[in-house]
């Protein structure tokens, strides 16, 4: 009987692993979070023709960045972007905005967008954005990339973190920090009935 239960448990674990693998994982990093609606139908059909999964569509856009220097309150800091597309692009528009103007300022002399035309597959463009931190802590520069292709209009957005100073947020726990029988730290989250 024990052998039967073990095989049954192993079978259940394998099914769970297959389900998780089929769902895929979320792409991106904290600095590279994609947003936008579903891809055009033509793009989904093209993916199917190429033999790739037509699952959750992802824009063929890459956004990388580098903060140049050490951000200091009141001093301009430059963010170097590198944006590209894995398909040919008729037009690529890169726009910028600050998430909270109280802590991060976009100077009036800084263009709010850059436009590139006839960008080849995989060819990177490198716009630079200058911002002025207004307070210590973490603030974000919003970047949106729109591309116009033969397959339709695609959009991807990213929030680029800019850390000023060494102010770190204290981690918050949901539940109560306890120690189990083996001496390991665990977070206890008892169920509540309301």
pLDDT, tens digit, for every residue of 63-95?
Answer: 999 999 899 999 999 999 999 999 888 999 999
> Is the pTM above the cut of 0.75?
no
Sheet strand arrangement including 89-98? 113-119, 89-98, 137-149, 152-164
Per-residue confidence (pLDDT) for residue 5, from 0 to 100:
44
Give me 25's structure tokens. Answer: 């994982």
Predicted confidence (pLDDT) at residue 143 exceeds the cutoff of 50: yes
Beta strands in 86-174 (DSSP E): 89-98, 104-105, 113-119, 128-133, 137-149, 152-164
pLDDT tens, residue by residue, 7-65:
455 555 544 544 444 444 433 333 333 333 334 444 445 554 554 556 667 888 999 99
DSSP state for residue 160 in the 8-state scheme = E
**pLDDT, position 171:** 60
CA-based torsion, 64, 70, 73, 78: positive or negative: negative
CATH number 2.60.40.10 is the correct assignment for the domain at 28-167? yes
Number of CB atoms found within 10 A of residue 104's CB: 24
């Amino acid at each position: 009987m024990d052998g039967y239960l073990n095989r049954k448990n192993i079978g259940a674990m394998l099914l769970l692993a297959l389900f998780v693998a089929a769902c895929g994982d979320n792409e991106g990093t904290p600095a590279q979070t994609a947003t936008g609606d579903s891809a055009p139908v033509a793009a989904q059909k093209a993916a199917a023709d190429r033999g790739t999964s037509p699952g959750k569509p992802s824009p063929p856009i890459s956004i990388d960045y580098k903060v140049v220097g050490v951000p200091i309150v009141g001093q301009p800091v430059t963010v170097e972007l590198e944006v590209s597309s894995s398909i040919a692009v008729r037009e690529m528009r890169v726009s910028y905005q600050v998430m909270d103007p109280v802590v991060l300022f976009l100077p009036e002399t800084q263009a709010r967008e850059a436009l590139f035309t006839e960008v080849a597959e995989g060819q990177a463009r490198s716009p630079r954005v200058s911002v002025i931190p207004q307070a210590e802590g973490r603030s974000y520069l919003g970047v949106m990339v729109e591309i116009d292709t033969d397959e339709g209009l695609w959009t991807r957005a990213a929030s680029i973190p800019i850390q000023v100073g060494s102010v770190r947020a204290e981690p918050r726990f949901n539940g109560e920090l306890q120690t189990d029988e083996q001496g390991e730290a665990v977070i206890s989250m008892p169920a509540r009935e309301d």
